[in-house]
Amino acid sequence: MALLETRGLTKTFPGVTALDGVDLAIEAGEVHAVVGANGAGKSTLMHLLAGALTPSAGEIHLGGVPVTFGSPRAARERGVSIVYQESSAIPALTVAENIFLGHEPAGPAGLLDRRRLTDEAQQLLDRYRLPLAATASAGSLSVAGQQLVEIARALSVASRVLIFDEPTAVLSLAEQRNLFEIIAGLKTPERAILYVSHRLEEIFTIADRLSVLRDGRKVATLVTREVRQADLIRLMVGHDLADCAPSSTPAAAVRPRLEVETRNGARVAVGRGEILGLAGLVGSGRSRLARAIAGFEPVSVRVDGRPLRITSPRAALRAGIVYLTEDRKRDGLFSELSVLTNTSAAVLPQLSRLGVLRPAAERAACRSALERLRLAARSLSAPVRELSGGNQQKVILGRALLAEPRVLICDEPTRGIDVGAREEIYERLAELAQQGVSIILISSDLKELLALSHRVLVLRDGQIAGELPGGASREHDVLMIATGAGLA
């Protein structure tokens, strides 16, 4: 009998089925990996098992008994703990306080026993060779250090099921090896370990069995030692690897529009009218590179041969570099303001006279840009939060068009939008490239990335691991480089 089992587990969000009828059986004493391309439903599944989300349908069985987790705390109390990819450590608390948060040791009077808290935390850290001081402030730690706090927190409770969701994304090689040794020591007949990672070499190192998710559904459960990496990647992709259509955009110009040298010395150049794709798995450094070019980190660039030092997004905008964020709701939109205000936000000086905004000019400019994008909205005065995800993305793209970019950086421009809106955005990007705009495109949809891009740079661990031609390459080629399974 499986220690942890899901039957028909389903999770829907408005307009999206993130998980669709997943059946899994996790045995005690095994490390069971869950793999899949970005957007396959892995994190949604882990959040359901850890009580962070509630299923829309289906059942979870623990030790043969149906269970319902209304919260992460309820899941922990039943013996299910999770190590998330992103740290939830509270900076103002110590390492010890973060580890035992919610189940602090108490003294005889029921009050917090701080000495015991610190001693037990340090003993736990020493036992698992986690190089942290229990008394250190969590806010003083590096990102990797905070991830180690997450791991210690999960190890501090008696877990029957221990879930690791991309735990090595920010760890050094030595820290990764230590984690694998910890996991090997935790594999007992009373405990099951669920492990999620994009890094296939990790899966083949530590997993006994693996399950493949694709588009929210389970497509296979296999014994790891019986699977070849190439076959596993084919299961993750899920279609004929020759299906990618060649880019329909015009050939890239020879002269570079933008040149930049990365932190580790690699040179990135994008030509006039070229669409340069950036591929890579979660944590590969795609967005960090894009945000650096957009001024979120100081960087030296050449734009049309002119050397520039970009120190802020405003400086990047002045240089003709426009950035479309991957998280439109958090970073891209003023959700309570109108469609009009959101569209004109980047070009207010151009729409003003003597520092006073000209409303007629603002409306005319925004209406022209949004009509090109076929925006569906009841009026320009409507709050942007009323729009669908696709139309919100069109507002952000309309803002970029008004800025008349020389270089347009698009980070996941079609994430969470419907097929119709995707096609319209594809058309606009191709149109901009034909007009000579240089485009840097990041997308977790490899089919999309290869179809739109003239060239694709594949990043891995913050470095450029390979370069491929866009339309002539296969998703398999990208994944082989991105996972380290093949050489560039």
Q: In CATH, what number is assigned to the domain containing residue 437?
A: 3.40.50.300
Quick one: 275 and 343 in the same domain?
yes
Q: Over the stretch 298-324, which tens digit does the pLDDT of each residue have?
A: 888 899 889 999 889 888 888 889 888
CB 351 within 8 A of CB 358: yes
Residue 130 lies in a domain: no
pLDDT band at 424 (very low <50, low <70, confident <90, very high): confident
Residue 184 lies in a domain: yes
Quick one: 186 and 303 in the same domain?
no
pLDDT recorded at residue 252: 45
Residue 55 lies in a domain: yes
d(CA 297, CA 43): 29
Q: Which long-range contacts (CB under 8 A, 24 or more apart) does 263-271 make?
A: 263/292, 263/462, 264/462, 264/463, 266/463, 266/464, 268/457, 268/464, 270/407, 270/438, 270/439, 270/440, 271/438
Quick one: 220 and 158 in the same domain?
yes
Range of lowest pLDDT (45-54, 197-206, 368-377):
368-377
Residue 100 lies in a domain: no
Is the pLDDT at 125 greater than 60? The verdict is yes
Quick one: 198 and 301 in the same domain?
no
Quick one: 73 and 217 in the same domain?
yes
pLDDT recorded at residue 364: 85
Tell me the C-alpha to C-alpha distance, in Å, between residue 453 and each of 85, 141, 243, 459.
29, 39, 15, 15
**What residues make up the domain containing 440?**
256-482
Range of lowest pLDDT (42-46, 151-155, 412-416):
412-416
Quick one: 216 and 272 in the same domain?
no
d(CA 177, CA 174): 5
Quick one: 210 and 327 in the same domain?
no
Range of lowest pLDDT (125-134, 139-148, 157-166, 406-415):
139-148
Residue 94 lies in a domain: no
Quick one: 290 and 431 in the same domain?
yes
CA 217-419-20 angle, to 5 degrees, is 15
CB 488 within 8 A of CB 458: yes
Residue 40 lies in a domain: yes
Quick one: 175 and 207 in the same domain?
yes
Per-residue pLDDT averaged across 141-146, rounded? 78
Residue 131 lies in a domain: no
pLDDT band at 341 (very low <50, low <70, confident <90, very high): confident
* Proportion of the chain above pLDDT 70, given as a percent: 90
Among candidate residues 178, 209, 237, the one where a domain is terminated = 237
pLDDT recorded at residue 421: 65
Computed on alpha carbons and rounded to an integer, the radius of gyration of the chain in Å comes to 25
Among candidate residues 204, 237, 270, the one where a domain is terminated = 237
Residue 243 lies in a domain: no
Number of folded domains that form the chain = 2
CB 85 within 8 A of CB 167: yes
d(CA 429, CA 484): 31
Is the pLDDT at 4 greater than 90? The verdict is yes
Roughly what angle, to the nearest 10 degrees, separates helices 173-186 and 143-155? 10
d(CA 229, CA 210): 12
CB 326 within 8 A of CB 287: yes
Tell me the C-alpha to C-alpha distance, in Å, between residue 66 and each of 32, 77, 189.
20, 15, 21
Among candidate residues 206, 237, 268, the one where a domain is terminated = 237
Quick one: 305 and 164 in the same domain?
no
Quick one: 298 and 194 in the same domain?
no
pLDDT recorded at residue 274: 92
Quick one: 296 and 383 in the same domain?
yes
Q: Over the stretch 21-76, which tens digit does the pLDDT of each residue have?
A: 999 999 999 999 998 876 678 888 999 999 999 999 999 999 999 999 989 889 98
